[in-house]
Amino acid sequence: MLGKTTEYAIRALVYIYIQNIKGERPGFKKIAKMIDSPEQFTGKVLQNLTRANIVSSIKGPGGGFFFIEPANPITLFKVIEAIEGKEYFLKCGFGLKRCDTNNPCPLHDDFAPVRDSFFKMVNEKTIQSLANKINKHEATLNRF
């Protein structure tokens, strides 16, 4: 359901959060390596997240990416909205520009509940909750 950019953004933010808890501010090259993402692409993703005020960065020695208020929950919705746009959760599953209950696409009746359930989930899950699952060894960030 999510584009690669959004997937990398979420993984990068989870990694940054985990490192920030340890008192570290990772740079984009380290982030790219740890989330298995191309460096330049990761740099652009992080630049977009910084512009959206989701994460901050400092250049130079001792610099890197960090959360200004790490205790302030960041929902997956906020990340998806920053990368995909506000329209993401209104899209038609069939790709039509206009689709609703009055003019449904062939997938409308099946897709709308899935989209609504996904919307609910991304408003409940946070970067912090995902990082906590990894820290508790209930999940993994990468497969290497």
pLDDT tens digit sequence for 28-73:
999 999 999 999 999 999 999 999 999 999 998 889 999 999 889 9
Least confident of 19-33, 67-81, 89-103: 89-103
Task: Indicate whether 56 belongs to any domain.
Answer: yes
Q: Cα separation of 39 and 49, whole Å?
A: 15
Residue 73: per-residue pLDDT: 95
Q: Report the b/e string of 86-104 with b at 16+ CB within 10 A.
A: eebbeebbeeeeebeeeee
Least confident of 25-29, 46-50, 97-101: 97-101
Tokens of 35: 């989330």
Torsion of CA 76, 50, 18, 10, to 10 degrees: 30
CATH of the domain at 108: 1.10.10.10
Q: Give the single-character DSSP code of 126.
A: B
Task: Indicate whether 70 belongs to any domain.
Answer: yes
Task: Indicate whether 143 belongs to any domain.
Answer: no
Task: Indicate whether 64 belongs to any domain.
Answer: yes
Task: Indicate whether 144 belongs to any domain.
Answer: no
Indicate the pLDDT class of residue 104, thresholds 50, 70 and 90. very high
Q: Is the pLDDT of residue 121 over 90?
A: yes
Task: Indicate whether 119 belongs to any domain.
Answer: yes
- Counted domains in the chain: 1
Task: Indicate whether 45 belongs to any domain.
Answer: yes
Task: Indicate whether 142 belongs to any domain.
Answer: no
Q: Cα separation of 29 and 128, whole Å?
A: 22
Determine whether 33 is exposed, middle or buried from the number of CB atoms within 10 Å of its CB (0-12, 13-18, 19+): middle
Whole domain around residue 69: which residue ranges? 4-135
